[in-house]
Amino acid sequence: MTVTAAMFYLFAVLTVGSAVLVVTTRNVVYAAFSLMLTLCSVACLYVMLHADFLAATQVIIYVGGILVLVLFGVMMTSGKLDMKLRMERGRLIPGSLVGLILLALLIRIIYQSPWQVQDTNMLESTTKSTTQSIGESILGQYLLPFEIVSVILLVALIGAVLISRKEVKEIEES
């Protein structure tokens, strides 16, 4: 087994295993921390796919930002007592059925589609680093989406502040 293969299997198992924990554990905090493991191992998979910039972005934004937000949410909305997650049995069986069928379908598609796999060394042979290429595409081909995304971020920021702000105001009034 080559190093690459070994590392792939390691991170793939980590990703899937921790993701299973995310959806099955009964403790929200455990779920959040397993999600951290999932996100980090996905970042490692990105590195293996030569997307190093993306991997760093994933860790900075997902782990350092979104996950911290989620954890804050968890800690603010649940006391120590109702940390337990309820899973409705009524939904468990249809849910897993749908999931399994979908998974089988997807894997069948994955292995039967004739993928147009290119020469895999193309990216590695170019002199540009991925960071440079990404930078150039952001300010070139993807300038419009980039600007739209920044507007969306701004809107989300203001919206989030507004939603949580409402409650503060009412406290002041009362």
Partner 1 sequence: MADLRTEEMELNMGPQHPSTHGVLRIVLKLDGEIVLDAEPHIGYLHRCFEKHAENLTYPEIIPFTDRLDYIAAMNNNLGFCVTVEKLMQLEIPERAEYLRVLVAELNRIASHLLAFGTYGMDMGAFTPFLYAFREREHILDFFEAICGARLTYNYVRIGGVARDVTDESLKLVEKFLEDFEPHVHEYNDLLSYNRIFLKRTVGVGILSPEAAISYGVTGPNLRASGVHWDLRKDEPYSVYDRFEFDVPKANTEIGEIGDCWNRYMIRMYEMIESVRILRQVLNQIPDGPTMAKMRAAIRPPKGEVYMRTETPRGELGFYILSDGKNKPVRVKGRSPCFTAMSAFREISRGLMIADITAVIGSLDIVLGEIDR
Partner 2 sequence: MELLSSLIFMLVIAAALLGFVMLLALILVLAERKVSAYMQDRVGPRRVGPFGSLQTIADAIKLLLKEDIISLQADRKLFILAPYLVFVSSFAVFAAIPFGRNLIASDINIGILYIMAISSVVVLGIIMAGWASNSKWALLGAMRSAAQMVSYEIPLALSILSVIMLVGSLRMQDIVGAQSGGLFSAQNRWILLDNPFTFLAFFIYFISALSEVNRTPFDLPEAESELVAGFHTEYSGMRFALFFLAEYANMFAVSAIAVTLFLGGWSGILPGYTFLNGVPGFVIKVSVLVFVIMWLRWTLPRLRVDQLMSVCWKYLIPIAFFNLIGVGVWILIFD
Partner 3 sequence: MIGLQHYLVVGAILFVLGMFAVLTRRNAIAMLMGIELILNACNLNFVAFSRYVTANVEGQMIAIFVIVLAAAEAAVALAIILAIYQELRSISPDETNTLKG
Site residues (CB under 8 A) for partner 1? 76, 79, 167, 170-171, 173-174
30 binds partner 2 (CB under 8 A): yes
Q: Classify 82 as helix, strand or coil.
A: helix
Beta bridge partners of 84: 27
Q: Which residue has the tokens 């954890």?
A: 71
Nearer to partner 2, 19 or 75 (CB): 75
By beta-carbon proximity to partner 1, the closer residue of 76 and 117 is: 76
d(CA 68, CA 48): 26
* Residue 57 amino acid letter: T
- The reply to whether 63 sits near partner 2 by the rule CB under 8 A is yes
Write out the two tokens for 42: 């996905």
Q: How far is residue 141 from each of residues 20, 52, 129, 145, 149, measured CA to CA in Å? A: 38, 21, 17, 9, 14
Q: Which does 79 bind (CB under 5 to 8 A by kind): partner 2, partner 3, partner 1, none?
A: partner 1
Q: Give Cα separations from 99 to 20, 116, 142 (angstroms).
A: 13, 28, 35
Q: At closest approach, how far in Å is the CB of 39 from partner 3?
A: 7
> In the set 12, 14, 22, 75, which binds partner 2 (CB under 8 A)?
75
Site residues (CB under 8 A) for partner 2? Answer: 1-3, 6, 29-30, 33, 36, 40, 43, 52-53, 55-57, 59-60, 63-65, 67-68, 71-72, 75, 80, 129, 131
